[in-house]
Amino acid sequence: MRPAGNPAPRGRFDRGLLPDPETYYIATEGLAFREKRGTWRTADCPWHGGQSLRINLASGAYACMGCGERGGDVIAFAMNRHGLTFVEAARRLGCWVEDRSAIAPPPTRPAGLSAADALALIAVDAELLAIEALRVANGHVLDQNARQAIIDAARRVLLLATPPGGRR
Alpha helices in the chain (DSSP H): 21-23, 74-82, 86-92, 115-137, 144-161
pTM, to two decimals: 0.57
Cβ proximity of 17 and 36 under 8 Å = no
CA separation, residue 142 to residues 135, 136, 139, 147, 157 (Å)? 9, 7, 9, 6, 20
For 160, half-sphere exposure in the C-beta direction (CA atoms, 13 angstrom radius) is 20
* pLDDT tens profile 120-149: 778 888 887 887 888 888 888 878 888 888
pLDDT grade for 22, boundaries at 50, 70 and 90 = very high
